[in-house]
């Protein structure tokens, strides 16, 4: 098996990304990337590589560690299906309008941003909570689902990496401690203020939420959403009578979904939230929320068993294409790690470069790694063992290098079409996945450009 391929190790991810963007056939692009990766692993035996690639897809599908991912994905579709087709979301939107909580587009966008920031326990929960709650409101007000996808994606990972009291913090503190740092917690906390991309991305999203600023491909989708609203009567009139039971069903199910996560993290971690099982906690929270939604829809609106079952199946069916994308993306990520793509990118960095350039280079290299493998956590695991010894060896601030590595991982993951958070943001907002990637990328690049400038300045300051 070939595992030291140099630049060839980057081809599967890069070709999959380019093909997906150019053709909009994301699943085919990802499958092609998986097959190419395994062909490279078993060169020159192409047949063996293809068989291995197909086999890997099956292994990922039945891997017990991934079963909760599939369950989580389909369950959130089922939850949204019950709330939407069951009719409770209609009353929820009507109540928001009557209470003047989201009477206009600005309020709706700010509502999404604030909700995304408040739910910082887990990125997928933040995305799902903000997306499923805001989506019907955006449709009613004529805001594009692509704008919603951008806002939820730009608050979830940035806020999670800036708050140490979650699984993200525990994971990175563990990585820092493994590099011989005596006080990993204080180092991680010090790096928070130096995570320039996460900070800039979060406040750029706040600016967009407040102003509605749209540029690049996003502008066309915003104009189309406005046109669609003008040509379509509102599904919910502002003076519609609100069924209180239906309203409470939505609120209780969504609040339960959020609160159950830390409860389950505490339970599965035997009293330590940071040691809990994140995926099991999220899955359990969504299932409990789904049960509440079903019971509440039946009791408040008298929904029939046929309607409930139809809502569950249709909701899950609508999510299935994104579940498939997530499945193949995981297989591609496994293959690129086997190829050593991340290690090759890390090896490009030459320690003989001027020290003031290193923070910016760590940021950009981390971004390239995350973009190629579609995983911020995988990037953290690759880059922190490189960045920390480099900082120690040059007697430069470790927190700055940690911040740069983490920031780059967030940017690359934020921009990559094969990232799970990018896929789930498309799922939660109801946006076509490649449309979300195309509309979000200009904002991410703007934030990354500003962050790169910050790291250059910081490098000059510490090196001087």
Of the candidates 448, 446, 364, the one whose C-alpha atom is nearest the C-alpha of residue 405 is 364
Which residue range is the domain that position 207 belongs to? 67-170+198-329
Contact 420, 374 (CB under 8 A): yes
Say if 31 falls within a structural domain.
no
* pLDDT band per the 50, 70, 90 thresholds, residue 211: very high
Of the candidates 391, 393, 419, the one whose C-alpha atom is nearest the C-alpha of residue 403 is 391
Residue 63 region, left (φ>0) first, then alpha (ψ -120 to 50), else beta?
beta
In this prediction, residue 151 carries a pLDDT of 92
Give tens-digit pLDDT for 111-134.
889 888 876 655 666 777 777 778
Q: pLDDT at residue 431 above 80? A: yes
Among 173-187, 343-357, 358-372, 401-415, top mean pLDDT goes to 401-415
Give tens-digit pLDDT for 303-332.
899 999 999 998 888 778 767 766 887 787
Q: pLDDT at residue 425 above 80? A: yes
Say if 1 falls within a structural domain.
no
In this prediction, residue 206 carries a pLDDT of 95
Higher pLDDT, 186 or 23: 186
Give tens-digit pLDDT for 368-396.
878 877 777 767 776 776 778 778 777 78
Sign (positive or negative) of CA dihedral 155, 422, 252, 162: negative
Say if 388 falls within a structural domain.
no
Give tens-digit pLDDT for 225-241.
888 777 765 544 455 68
State whether residue 449 is helix, strand or coil.
helix
In this prediction, residue 239 carries a pLDDT of 59
Higher pLDDT, 346 or 194: 194
In this prediction, residue 130 carries a pLDDT of 76
Give tens-digit pLDDT for 145-173.
999 999 998 888 788 888 765 556 766 77
Say if 373 falls within a structural domain.
no
Average pLDDT score over the chain: 81
Say if 409 falls within a structural domain.
no
In this prediction, residue 196 carries a pLDDT of 95
**CB neighbours (10 Å) of residue 338?**
17
Contact 148, 248 (CB under 8 A): no
In this prediction, residue 236 carries a pLDDT of 47
Q: Which residues contact 45 (CB under 8 A, 6 or more apart)?
A: none
> What angle, 0 to 180 degrees and rounded to 10, lies between the N-to-C axes of helices 88-98 and 244-268?
100
* Gap between the Cα atoms of 158 and 169, Å rounded: 12
Mean pLDDT of 422-444: 88
Give tens-digit pLDDT for 80-105.
789 878 888 778 767 766 666 667 88
- In the chain, how many domains are there? 1
Q: Which segments of 63-166 does DSSP mark as H helices, in order?
A: 64-85, 88-98, 105-118, 123-141, 145-162
Say if 9 falls within a structural domain.
no
Q: pLDDT at residue 198 above 80? A: yes
In this prediction, residue 274 carries a pLDDT of 61
Give tens-digit pLDDT for 251-264.
898 788 778 878 88
Contact 86, 308 (CB under 8 A): yes
What are the Cα distances from residue 306, in Å, to 1, 85, 106, 295, 310? 53, 12, 38, 14, 6
Contact 389, 396 (CB under 8 A): no
- pTM of the prediction? 0.67
In this prediction, residue 118 carries a pLDDT of 77
Peptide bond into 44 cis (omega under 30): yes
In this prediction, residue 341 carries a pLDDT of 65
Say if 410 falls within a structural domain.
no
Residue 152 region, left (φ>0) first, then alpha (ψ -120 to 50), else beta?
alpha
Of the candidates 421, 410, 327, 417, the one whose C-alpha atom is nearest the C-alpha of residue 370 is 410
* Gap between the Cα atoms of 384 and 409, Å rounded: 10
Beta strands in 289-361 (DSSP E): none
Say if 385 falls within a structural domain.
no
């Amino acid at each position: 098996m070939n595992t030291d391929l140099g630049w060839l190790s980057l081809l599967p991810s890069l070709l999959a990304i380019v093909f997906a963007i150019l053709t909009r056939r994301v699943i085919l692009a990802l499958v092609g990337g998986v097959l190419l990766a395994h062909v490279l692993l078993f060169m020159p035996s192409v047949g063996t590589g293809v068989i291995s690639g197909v086999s890997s897809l099956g292994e990922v599908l039945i891997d017990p560690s991934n079963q909760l991912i599939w369950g989580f994905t389909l369950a959130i579709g089922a939850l949204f299906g019950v709330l939407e087709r069951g009719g409770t979301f209609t009353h929820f939107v009507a109540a928001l309008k009557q209470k003047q909580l989201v009477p206009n587009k600005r309020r709706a966008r700010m509502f999404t941003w604030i909700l995304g920031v408040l739910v910082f326990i887990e990125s997928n929960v933040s995305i799902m909570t903000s997306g499923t709650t805001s989506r019907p409101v955006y449709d009613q007000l004529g805001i594009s689902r692509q704008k919603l996808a951008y806002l939820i994606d730009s608050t979830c990972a940035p806020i999670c990496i800036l708050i140490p009291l979650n699984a993200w913090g525990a994971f990175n503190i563990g990585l820092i401690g493994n590099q011989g740092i005596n006080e990993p917690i204080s180092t991680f906390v010090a790096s928070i203020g130096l995570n320039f991309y996460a900070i800039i991305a979060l406040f750029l999203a706040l600016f967009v939420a407040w102003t509605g600023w749209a540029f690049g491909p996003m502008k066309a989708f915003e104009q189309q959403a406005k046109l669609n609203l003008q040509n379509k009567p509102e599904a919910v009139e502002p003076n519609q009578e609100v069924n209180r039971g239906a309203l409470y069903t939505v609120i209780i199910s969504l609040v339960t979904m959020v609160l159950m996560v830390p409860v389950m993290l505490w339970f599965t971690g035997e009293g330590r939230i940071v040691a809990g099982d994140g995926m099991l906690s999220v899955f359990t929270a969504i299932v409990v929320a789904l049960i509440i939604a079903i019971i509440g829809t039946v009791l408040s609106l008298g929904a029939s068993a046929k309607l409930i079952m139809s809502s569950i199946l249709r909701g899950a069916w609508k999510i299935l294409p994104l579940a498939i994308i997530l499945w193949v993306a995981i297989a591609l990520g496994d293959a690129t790690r086997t190829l050593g793509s991340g290690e090759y990118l890390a090896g490009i960095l030459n320690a003989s470069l001027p020290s003031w350039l290193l923070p910016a280079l760590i940021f950009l290299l981390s971004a390239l790694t995350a973009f190629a493998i579609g995983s911020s956590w995988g990037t953290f695991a690759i880059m922190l063992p490189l960045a920390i010894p480099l900082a120690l060896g040059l007697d430069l601030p470790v927190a700055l290098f940690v911040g740069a590595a983490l920031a780059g991982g967030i940017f690359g993951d934020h921009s990559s079409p094969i990232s799970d958070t990018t896929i789930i943001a498309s799922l939660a907002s109801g946006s076509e996945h490649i449309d979300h990637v195309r509309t979000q990328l200009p904002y991410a690049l703007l934030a990354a450009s500003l962050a790169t400038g910050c790291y250059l300045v910081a490098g000059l300051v510490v090196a001087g």
